[in-house]
A = this chain, B = another copy of it.
Amino acid sequence: MANQLTPLDQVFAALADPTRRAIVMRLCAGEASVGELADPFDMALPSFMKHIHVLETSGLVQSEKSGRVRTCRLSPDALLGAEDWFQQQRAIWEARLDRFEAYVMKLKKENEQAAAKRPSRATRKKGS
């Protein structure tokens, strides 16, 4: 029944929220306490903590409590995992573009050869 969310699901879902993206961006510049992180946002702390928690279960952020202050830091692995996904898609996409270009070149070449054989048909319109 538990619809097992993949890490990728959770990372993308976490990044779909502007507040959480801002937190990630902030943490790229170095670790910070919950209070420091929450400060720029006009939001009640419990609401803000939910965002932190989402980031934590997605694996994007780790935190550690010492005394009464919890310090958060980015864990870059999850971020890299998501970035990889894009790069893989792009690789497939670009491979396809290459194949498509090759295909167009082949068509063009065939068309030229056909035109050389039956020059009169080469100027006819498609639908008529």
Contacts and interface: CB of A to CB of B under 8 A. Distances in A.
A104 interface: no
A119 B1 CA distance: 63
Contact of A15 (B12, B30, B80, B90): B12
Interface residues of A, number: 30
22 contacts: A6-B18, A9-B16, A9-B18, A10-B16, A12-B12, A12-B13, A12-B15, A12-B16, A13-B13, A21-B85, A24-B89, A25-B92, A29-B92, A29-B96, A30-B96, A74-B93, A76-B90, A79-B89, A79-B90, A82-B86, A83-B83, A86-B86
A9 B17 contact: yes
A77 to B, nearest CB: 12
Number of copies: 2
A85 B22 CA distance: 12
A66 interface: no
Nearest to A10: B16
Contacts of A12: 12-13, 15-16
A87 interface: yes
Nearest to A5: B18
A79 to B, nearest CB: 7
